[in-house]
């Protein structure tokens, strides 16, 4: 049973005959008769009593007609919802963002996205990169902002690439250096982000390459608090340059980190081979034009 056959049957009833229905559905009278007959054969019961040039519904025909109207109405609603989705008059943007750099990189995008697509719901999840990747792989979110890694299961659209800087207390003995590496910092206590933040992995992997075993004295998910801990003399921290510059104040010094493979390269990510919903595609297109310019 298909909806086209049901529509033919409904029009025969509405128009009061096969000839009239044929004009409405743009078929020959013979094709209309065959469609109704095929429906009767499929259901195993007669649906119409043919009396001369007129037709009347049987008891079974009454049931089929009533149900067919519901099905055809649902089909129209379905098509209307799909059209609305394609035109972004509805739907949901399911996106995951890390707390680090979220405001600087994406606040303007959210404002513009809401202005352009006010009827799209936004489901935002904030977590560290490791957890966001899990959500992405599980299909809980459609796109996430992640640090780029070698993973064939994930596709990326670059947003920003920033070198790391060392955040030190303003009067720290190393504050006057032009650049620092992890050999220079081997004796310094480290202040890192909370567990699950991908940025930690970049830092610790670089330390391992230098054969440096860092002493971690504190962790936090808040940049403001990390900078406050540095100011208080608890240790040194590492931030992407644009974020460190935003939080610069007289109590700290910023020195470029001279270590390979430690750039903070953040991108919008989605599962390879996934058919993204229109709301997510629209976000990716917007990000191409609104991402903060690279310095």
CB 62 within 8 A of CB 35: no
* CA angle at 97 for the pair 94 and 103, rounded to the nearest 5°: 120
Percent of the chain with pLDDT over 70: 95
Q: 212 or 151: whose pLDDT is higher?
A: 212
204-224 pLDDT, tens digit each: 999 999 999 999 999 998 899
Per-chain mean pLDDT for the chain: 88
Residue 81's pLDDT band (cuts 50, 70, 90): low
Strands 189-193 and 92-97 come out as unpaired
In the chain the domains, ranked by start, together with CATH numbers, are 3-86 (1.10.10.10), 92-160+266-290 (3.40.190.10), 164-262 (3.40.190.10)
How far apart CA 236 and CA 88 sit, in angstroms, is 46
Q: How many Cα atoms within 13 Å fall on the side-chain side of residue 113?
A: 25
* Contacts of residue 78, Cβ cutoff 8 Å, sequence gap at least 6: none
Residue 85's pLDDT band (cuts 50, 70, 90): low
188-206 pLDDT, tens digit each: 999 999 888 889 999 999 9
The pLDDT, as a whole number, for residue 144 is 95
> Residues of 3-20 as b/e, b for ≥16 C-beta within 10 angstroms?
eebbbbbbbbbebebbee
1-39 pLDDT, tens digit each: 788 888 888 888 888 888 888 888 888 888 888 988 988
Q: Three-class SS string for 168-226?
A: EECCCCCCCCCCECCCCCCCCEEEEECCCCHHHHHHHHHHHHCCCCCEEEEEECCHHHH
The reported pTM is 0.67
Neighbours of 211 (CB within 10 A): 9
The pLDDT, as a whole number, for residue 4 is 87
Strands 252-256 and 164-169 come out as antiparallel
Closest CA to 144 of 93, 198, 95: 95
Residues present in the chain in total: 295
Residue 97, pLDDT above cutoff 90: yes
Beta partners for residue 70, in sequence order = none
The pLDDT, as a whole number, for residue 14 is 83
């Amino acid at each position: 049973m298909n909806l086209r056959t049901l529509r033919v049957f409904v029009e025969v009833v509405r128009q009061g005959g096969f000839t009239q229905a044929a004009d409405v559905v743009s078929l020959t009278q013979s094709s209309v008769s065959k469609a109704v007959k095929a429906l009767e054969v499929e259901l195993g019961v007669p649906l119409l009593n043919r009396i001369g040039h007129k037709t009347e519904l049987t008891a079974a025909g009454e049931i089929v007609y009533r149900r067919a109207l519901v099905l055809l109405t649902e089909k129209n609603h379905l098509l209307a919802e799909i059209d609305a989705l394609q035109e972004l008059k509805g739907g949901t943007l399911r996106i995951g963002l890390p707390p680090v750099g979220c405001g600087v990189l994406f606040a303007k995008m959210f404002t513009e996205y809401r202005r352009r697509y006010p009827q799209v719901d936004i489901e935002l999840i904030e977590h560290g990169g490791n957890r966001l990747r899990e959500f992405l792989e599980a299909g809980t979110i459609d796109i996430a902002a992640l640090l780029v890694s070698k993973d064939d299961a994930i596709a990326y659209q670059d947003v920003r690439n920033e070198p790391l800087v060392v955040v030190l207390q303003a009067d720290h003995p190393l504050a006057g250096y032009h650049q620092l590496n992890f050999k220079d910092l081997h004796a310094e206590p480290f202040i890192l982000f909370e567990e699950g933040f991908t940025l930690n992995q970049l830092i610790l992997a670089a330390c391992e390459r230098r054969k440096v075993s860092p002493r971690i004295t504190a962790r936090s998910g808040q940049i403001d608090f990390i900078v406050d801990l540095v100011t208080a003399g608890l240790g040194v921290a590492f931030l992407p340059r644009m974020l460190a510059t935003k939080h610069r104040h007289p109590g700290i010094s910023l020195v470029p980190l001279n270590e390979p493979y430690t750039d903070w390269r953040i991108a919008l990510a989605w599962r390879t081979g996934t058919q993204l919903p229109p709301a997510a595609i629209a976000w990716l297109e917007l990000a191409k034009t609104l991402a903060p310019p690279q310095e």
